[in-house]
Amino acid sequence: MVKKTDIDISVDFAGLRLANPVFTASGTCGYADEMGDYMDVNALGGFITKSITLRPRKGNPTPRIVETDAGMLNAIGLANMGLDRFIEEKLPIIAKMSVPVFVNVAGELIEEYVAVVERLAREDAITGFELNISCPNVAKGGISFGRDPRQVSEITSAVRKAAGDRVLIVKLSPNVTDIGIIASAAAEAGADALSLVNTFTAMVIDIETRRPALANRTGGLSGPAIKPIAVYLVNRVYNDVARAAGIPILGLGGIRTAADAIEFIIAGASAVAVGTASFIQPDCASRIVDGIREYCVRHNVAKLSDLVGSLSPK
Amino acid sequence: MVNGKSKGIFTATVLSNRRIGECFYTMDLEFAGAGARAFAEFRPGQFLQVDVSTLALPPEDKIPPELRDICRRNVLLRRPFSFADVAIRGENTIAELLYCALGPASVRMTTLAAGDPLNVIGPLGNGFHVPKDKHTALLIVGGMGAPPIRCLARLLRAERPDMKIVAFVGAKSAAAIPFEGNFAHVSQQVDFFIPAFAKLGIPSVVATDDGSAGYRGFITGRLALWLNEQAALPLERTILCACGPEPMLSAVARIAAERNIDCQVSMERRMACGIGVCQSCAVECRIEGSTETIYKLCCQDGPVFDSRTVVFDARTEAVEEMGLAQAIKEGQASPAVDKARVLEALEHGEEDRH
């Protein structure tokens, strides 16, 4: 029987040694300073920022969210302060953090992604990037890159060059016919890791007014509702692409407990990210770190990395 | 617009939870330790995010028939509330949460009993701030906008005993006035109608959409009439503080702007987090000296805003304008407007239905 203190929950992730497998999902924990009153972000395995674009973005009109039975739809529209203000206001805070920080990067043109990544790759405080080619809530860019394997390949190789020695995670959309083709395209073009999945395009209608519940008409569904689909897609990409390519998966979609996280890890994720659940429990990610340790004690798992992709073949 | 220093995730203990009207409930919560210290600093207009996701529904026969379908929906996100009162008792802080049971979250809250724990995040956002040079405060409530205004009334009375305060309270009907008391025969005059304000020595004016209590029409119509009668009121030393549906806030803002009176409005938006990370609760605001607008966050930059800065939703503004113009034109007559549109826009406490 292993003791709790002897358990190794560190993971190898794209050449990095992370203290544990738990990340924050982009857009759910801001730029970390907002979380200080609720959680020690340095106790996590990784921190992924809210999306940054080259220029500031105002975002969509309201309502931007609507709750559903076991989740929520959002259509924020990549509202963010832009690269310059991020460097001025947020980078000094990030520089003081010990947790590896990944900047989520979005844009309308490949040149915009490249410009943001090139600039931030010069900063010691930034461990890597998460390429957002899967946002369903903007008119241009976002998901339109993520649906076409040729475009995925083009943008991944361009950003790969710009990222220099930094880790490049490509975040995939589930809103495609065959996620395996997209995952292969990203892997072959130089992605160091894949994160999946982003939100599912969805709609809620107010039947009294016959209007969509969101000003953007559609939004991305997140939360517990999508977890079983996300677990399936992680397992599929792990079996079909990631294992053979030797690149890790960051699994996300509806994780709110350690048990949820363990499911993704067994399915093939080397690390996991907590998203919507952080809105309800701002300290959710750090609680999951503790819960993972407890699971390992109960199941006599000395090294968490042995659990990755350990789904029984039968 | 002021906020306290400490905030966090706290577990409060329910002291009592009882029904006080048609669908209104009042719940007293007790905070101990760090929670007591954090909420002792609570300012009127600040809010808290309540976790109702672990609460069960009451038995079906205890749920009003018209809410049974909607209450089958699960609740995931926290719900924002503003306290109606906060008091220090020894080492602990006692806070009153006034709410209306009208959706899956608030109906679940009615099951809480003395001794139950309730997980909250707060105090969040910025509350009302009445500058020292103001001698008169007009407090305007629309439907479930009551809690922060009542909290503000008590604080102002305690901190500024000489201040002239009048409460303007609007609701759909006499039964929908979110305070304890019987309002069926209340007149449209200024008097000590509402016990919650009367016990602070604050007179009130009542308006109802159907005329079943006080002035028949919107409270903003009654406010405009009242202001027109106050020739001696020093407007530069007067402040309007309002909380209610957005069409009402928009009308209050316009009344204030026309007379150059300072005005603070407490805005409401759908929120996922309440702590500034989800970016859901955008409020469109003017930039001084520019035609451009920006989105500020209701949870972080508000919920109380200077009314001059807010760009109100054009659709809701039009609705209130129709009602207001009509009400002023016809004196105390019922605003004969497109009723469906008004009711839709004035859906008091709409938030819990999302």
Residue B3 belongs to a domain: no
Which helix (H) or strand (E) segment is A48 a member of?
strand A46-48
Compare CB distances from A79 to B75, B273, B279 and report the shortest one's residue: B279
Q: How many CB pairs under 8 A join A and B?
A: 101
For residue A135, indicate whether it is catalytic.
yes
B77 to A35: CB separation less than 8 angstroms, yes or no: no
Residues B149 and B78 both lie in one domain: no
Alpha carbon of residue A76 to chain centroid: 16
Domain contains B279:
no
Same domain, B97 and B173: no
User: What is residue A239's DSSP assignment?
Assistant: I
Shared domain for B119 and B142, answered yes or no, is no
Distance from the Cα of residue B107 to its chain's centroid? 19
Given this model, what pLDDT does residue B343 score?
Answer: 42
Give how far B215 is from chain A: nearest CA, Å.
29
Domain's final residue, options B73, B94, B124: B124
In whole angstroms, what is the distance from residue A76 CA to residue B138 CA?
Answer: 36
Q: Which residues pair with A273 in a beta bridge?
A: A23, A252
Number of independent structural domains in chain B: 2
**Domains and their CATH numbers in chain A:** 4-60+70-200+220-307 (3.20.20.70)
Q: Show Cβ contacts of residue B16 under 8 Å, excluding neighbours closer than 6 positions.
A: B26, B27, B28, B114
Report yes or no: B82 and B125 within 8 Å, Cβ to Cβ: no
Inter-chain CB proximity A27 and B279 less than 8 Å:
yes
Residue of A nearest to B353 (CA): A67
Are B188 and B212 contained in the same domain? yes
The residue out of B102, B124, B146 marking a domain boundary is B124
Q: Are strands B304-306 and B262-266 parallel, antiparallel or unpaired?
A: antiparallel
Q: Are residues B59 and B151 in the same domain?
A: no
Flag whether pLDDT at B22 surpasses 80.
no
Beta-carbon separation of A38 and B282 below 8 A: no
Convert the pLDDT of each residue in B178-215 to its tens digit: 898 889 889 999 999 999 999 999 999 999 999 999 99
Chain A residues in contact with chain B using a Cβ-Cβ cutoff of 8 Å: 27-30, 34-35, 37-38, 50, 58-59, 61-67, 69-72, 74, 76, 79, 208-209, 213, 223-224, 276, 278-283
Catalytic choice (A29, A135, A284, A296): A135
Decide if A67 and B9 are in contact by the 8 Å CB cutoff: no
Residues in A closer than 8 angstroms to B276, CB to CB, are 30, 34
**Which residue on chain A is closest to B345 by alpha carbon?**
A209
Smallest Cβ–Cβ distance between A69 and the set B73, B281, B283 belongs to: B73
Q: What is the mean pLDDT of residues B219-243?
A: 94
* CA distance, residue A59 to nearest chain B CA (Å): 8
Give how far B111 is from chain A: nearest CA, Å: 20
**B209 and B313 housed in the same domain:** yes
Is there a domain that residue B225 lies in? yes
CATH of the domain at B183: 3.40.50.80
Sign of CA dihedral B287, B278, A69, A281: negative
Cβ within 8 Å, pair A61-B344: no
Q: Which of B75, B102, B124 is the last residue of a domain?
A: B124
> Which residue of A28, A41, A57, A64 is the best one to mutate when testing the B interface, meaning the one whose CB has the most B CBs within 10 A?
A64
Report yes or no on B350 lying in a domain.
Answer: no
Pairwise CB contact (< 8 Å): B275 & A34: yes
Q: What is the pLDDT of residue A4?
A: 76
Q: Between chains, do A69 and B51 touch, taking CB under 8 Å as contact?
A: no
**Nearest CA-CA distance, residue B192 and chain A, Å:** 39
Considering only CB atoms, B121 lies closest to which of A28, A62, A282, namely: A282
Does residue B276 form part of some domain?
Answer: no
B288 inside domain: no
What pLDDT score does A18 carry? Answer: 97
Q: What does DSSP assign to residue A29? A: S
User: Taking residues B115-142, what's their average pLDDT?
Assistant: 97
Question: Do B236 and B178 share a structural domain?
Answer: yes
Instruction: Please give the radius of gyration of chain A, using alpha carbons only, rounded to the nearest integer.
Output: 18
User: Per-residue confidence at B295, pLDDT binned at 50, 70, 90?
Assistant: very high
Nearest-by-Cβ selection for A37 from B7, B75, B272: B7
Contact yes or no for B237/B136 (Cβ under 8 A): yes
Range of the domain at B86: 8-124
Record: contact A38-B277, CB cut-off 8 A:
no
Cα–Cα nearest to A193, from A15, A11, A3, A7:
A15
Do B77 and B163 belong together in one domain? no
- Is residue B339 domain-shared with residue B205, that is, in the same domain? yes
Taking only the tens place, the pLDDT of each residue in B32-59 is 999 999 999 999 999 999 999 999 999 9
CATH number at residue B114: 2.40.30.10
Closest A-chain CA to B352: A67
> Pairing state of beta strands A22-24 and A271-274?
parallel
Q: Is residue B332 part of a domain?
A: yes
Do B68 and B193 share a domain, yes or no?
no
How buried is residue B286: exposed, middle or buried, by Cβ count under 10 Å (0-12/13-18/19+)? middle
Q: Which parts of chain A sit beneath pLDDT 70?
A: 1, 135-142
Which residues in A203-213 are b (16+ Cβ under 10 Å) and which e? ebeeeeeeebb
Q: Is residue B56 part of a domain?
A: yes
B162 shares its domain with B263: yes
Give the residue on B whose Cα is nearest the Cα of A215: B280
CB contact under 8 A, A35 and B277: yes
Residues B300-320: tens digit of each pLDDT:
999 999 999 999 976 665 555
Q: Do A29 and B75 touch (CB under 8 A)?
A: no
Using the beta-carbon criterion (under 8 Å), do A69 and B269 form an inter-chain contact?
no
Name chain A contacts of B7, Cβ cutoff 8 Å: 37
Partner-chain residue, chosen from B270, B295, B344, that has the shortest CB–CB distance to A58: B295
Q: Judge if B188 and B109 occupy the same domain.
A: no
Mean pLDDT score, B83-101: 95
Contacts of B53 in chain A (CB under 8 A): 280
Q: Which two tokens stand for residue A201?
A: 């395009």
B78:A280 CB<8 A: yes
Alpha-carbon distance B63 to nearest alpha carbon in chain A (angstroms): 19
Cross-chain CB nearest to B279 (options A59, A70, A71): A59
